[in-house]
Amino acid sequence: MTAPSNFTTFQDVQPHDAHPSFGHLILLVFGAVLEVVCVSLPGYIIARLGYFDAEKQRFLADLNMMLFTPCLIFTKLASQLNPDKLADLGIIPIIFVIQTTISWLVSRGVAKCFGFGRRPRNFVTAMGVFGNSNSLPMSLVISLSQTLKGLHWDRIPGDTDDEVAARGILYLLVFQQLGQLARWTWGLKVLLAPKSAYEEYNDEAAEEGRCHEEAQNDGEIQCLLDGVDPSQETDELDRFVYQHRPDSPTHTDNAHSIYEPAGSTPIAGGSRASPNDSEDDEHGSVWKKKSLNGYGNTLGDDLQPHFFPRLRASDNPEPPEGIKSVLVRMRRAPGKVCARICQSISAVCCCVYDTLPRPLQVLISFCARIVRSVYSFLVWIMSPALWAMLIGVLVASVPKLHSIFFDEESFMRTSVTSAIQQTGGVAVPLILVVLGANLARGTEIHEEESEIDPEEKQIGTKLLVASLISRMLLCPLIMAPILALFAKYVPVSILDDPIFVIVCFLLTGAPSALQLAQICQSNRVYETVMSKILFHSYVIWIMPSTLILVVMAMEVVEWAATS
């Protein structure tokens, strides 16, 4: 049957008519996956040729996260959301918490079956809990929305393929931000913490240091038995190494060489930092500190906004002469004015604070500390993507702002909004190119086998198998019935949207997040195993996994639509 809006709804079709035949569905999914492969392939080839090293990959990934992805988030959220949809999106955090909990339980159980210790168990948990919700699922959703028929939502008259893709990206972005929050807090600080964070490995490091010290002492004893002064021998060795360095005076000009023992690195200009400079806080701000009469607290630490930089003479060198001098002084003027205003406000606040009774001072200090803690937490947790998400929600929630940015006749629509949309269109292709480069790094043969952690050599294969089983096999099998029950019995409108169900299924079996490789590289956590996991997940498992998940999602949508 054909609906008035010229598309077929799930309520009007007979069983197994809502999606193509199984053979045709395999072809469509294969085409969607092949599209992702074709976009990723140039990055893989360029990286294998040596023109796309790790630093360049990290730069492009950071640029994408700082610029292109926020633009994509803003356009998709602000254009698709409205106050009614905001309430429906509340089901996404609930599904995310359920999926994270199940993934955690599954990963811990698999790690226990393999007999892993605390550190490898945490690694397997991170691989199982943090799935990719950005590059691969986003590309698959866009491809499937253009190839699969029957994804139109009967609640939206005249639904189109582009709107289906936009809604799918919207759902993915919400999941993505929730995953980012957990990944860069729990994942970075706990599950993928560096080796030094585990006491058992610290004990091993201390034992190795003790053995090294004993060996050094044995060498000194042997030198004494041979009639050689150990300190003299060490000095001679240091002098030889120093004189043969490429940048040493002996290497460049033996006539003027003077040996100096190792010491503090000299500072340019021959000056050292003043001891008072160490009193500055980590943001480079300096504020007047006044005691609170026995309470041991400081007004400067609690009440002063610490986001105004301190002006130093070294930061503002003398401007050049002529026209450039005028331009430099004009550019520096706002900063100097702001600094003077802040100093004046600080002095007034300190004077007023000193005149208050002691209990009121304590109360104000306590409130200021809370405000500062909240501010520091927001600065730490907020990212450009989160800011874009908040701004997009704000624009979507205010009809006047929405009309200014997205009305066809609006000046902002043809200028600013159009520019943001073009910039956001770069996000997905760039993510896939970086994905291909990351996979190329995972297939490289490690020449320095001695640099691999001995523990990683011993249990690397087990870590790989446990991570793949947890992330791409057991989690989808357990989450599939839960998602089916949600789609059938939970009275939330977006659960009737076919693309939402497909998004949920794709996320349950999506490969491990690419950002985990960055965290592992930073903290030196099983880097070789991480590269192998990326290769197996995105090259070997992705085709059968995506096919099975899409088929299950379509069957669940069809089953949920029947009365």
Give the domain-ending residue among 381, 409, 435: 381
Q: What is the mean pLDDT of residues 130-150?
A: 81
Task: Tell me if 11 is assigned to some domain.
Answer: no
Number of domains in the chain: 2
Give the pLDDT of residue 347. Answer: 85
Output the six-digit token pair for 321: 């002469």
The residue that leads in pLDDT, 123 or 326, is 123
pLDDT category of residue 265 using cuts at 50, 70 and 90: very low
Give the pLDDT of residue 216. Answer: 57
Asked whether residue 74 falls in the same domain as residue 170, the answer is yes
Per-residue pLDDT at 12 exceeds 60 = no
From the list 550, 497, 556, 559, the residue with the least C-alpha distance to 164 is: 497
pLDDT digits (tens, 9 = 90+) for 58-95: 788 888 878 888 898 888 778 877 777 777 788 899 99
Give the domain-ending residue among 381, 398, 423: 381
Task: Tell me if 544 is assigned to some domain.
Answer: yes
pLDDT digits (tens, 9 = 90+) for 442-488: 555 444 444 567 888 888 899 999 999 999 999 999 999 999 999 99
Give the pLDDT of residue 539. Answer: 81
pTM of the model: 0.64
Strand partners, 131: 512
Asked whether residue 68 falls in the same domain as residue 190, the answer is yes
Asked whether residue 70 falls in the same domain as residue 88, the answer is yes
Instruction: Please give the residue range of the domain that contains residue 554.
Output: 25-200+386-444+451-558
In 3-state terms, what secondary structure has residue 291? strand
Asked whether residue 370 falls in the same domain as residue 393, the answer is no
Report yes or no: 145 and 151 within 8 Å, Cβ to Cβ. Answer: yes
- Computed over every residue of the chain, the mean pLDDT equals 74
Asked whether residue 405 falls in the same domain as residue 551, the answer is yes
Task: Tell me if 212 is assigned to some domain.
Answer: no
pLDDT digits (tens, 9 = 90+) for 369-399: 899 888 887 777 677 877 888 888 889 888 8
Give the pLDDT of residue 7. Answer: 40
- Dihedral sign from CA coordinates of 29, 35, 36, 38: positive
Per-residue pLDDT at 554 exceeds 50 = yes
Task: Tell me if 17 is assigned to some domain.
Answer: no
Give the pLDDT of residue 432. Answer: 82
From the list 475, 453, 433, the residue with the least C-alpha distance to 530 is: 453
Per-residue pLDDT at 271 exceeds 60 = no
Asked whether residue 417 falls in the same domain as residue 481, the answer is yes
Alpha carbons 385 and 112: distance in angstroms, whole number: 36
Most confident of 27-36, 76-85, 443-452, 553-562: 553-562
CATH code at 509? 1.20.1530
Give the pLDDT of residue 499. Answer: 92
Among all chains, which residue has been given the structure tokens 């010491």?
A: 263
Strand partners, 298: 291
Alpha carbons 531 and 289: distance in angstroms, whole number: 50
Q: How many C-beta atoms surround the C-beta of residue 154 within 10 A? A: 18
pLDDT category of residue 99 using cuts at 50, 70 and 90: very high
Asked whether residue 406 falls in the same domain as residue 304, the answer is no
Per-residue pLDDT at 204 exceeds 60 = no
Give the pLDDT of residue 3. Answer: 40
Per-residue pLDDT at 225 exceeds 60 = no
Task: Tell me if 460 is assigned to some domain.
Answer: yes
Asked whether residue 511 falls in the same domain as residue 537, the answer is yes
Q: What is the mean pLDDT of residues 138-154?
A: 82
Alpha carbons 146 and 16: distance in angstroms, whole number: 20
Asked whether residue 374 falls in the same domain as residue 434, the answer is no
Per-residue pLDDT at 286 exceeds 70 = no
Asked whether residue 195 falls in the same domain as residue 338, the answer is no
Give the domain-ending residue among 360, 381, 402: 381
Give the pLDDT of residue 227. Answer: 54
Strand partners, 512: 131
Output the six-digit token pair for 189: 């600080």
Q: How many C-beta atoms surround the C-beta of residue 159 within 10 A? A: 20
Asked whether residue 310 falls in the same domain as residue 410, the answer is no
| CA torsion angle 422 427 433 436 (round to 10) | -160
Task: Tell me if 44 is assigned to some domain.
Answer: yes
Asked whether residue 325 falls in the same domain as residue 416, the answer is no
Output the six-digit token pair for 184: 């860069």
Task: Tell me if 234 is assigned to some domain.
Answer: no
Task: Tell me if 100 is assigned to some domain.
Answer: yes
Output the six-digit token pair for 493: 């409108």
Angle, nearest 10°, between helix axes 135-147 and 22-48? 140
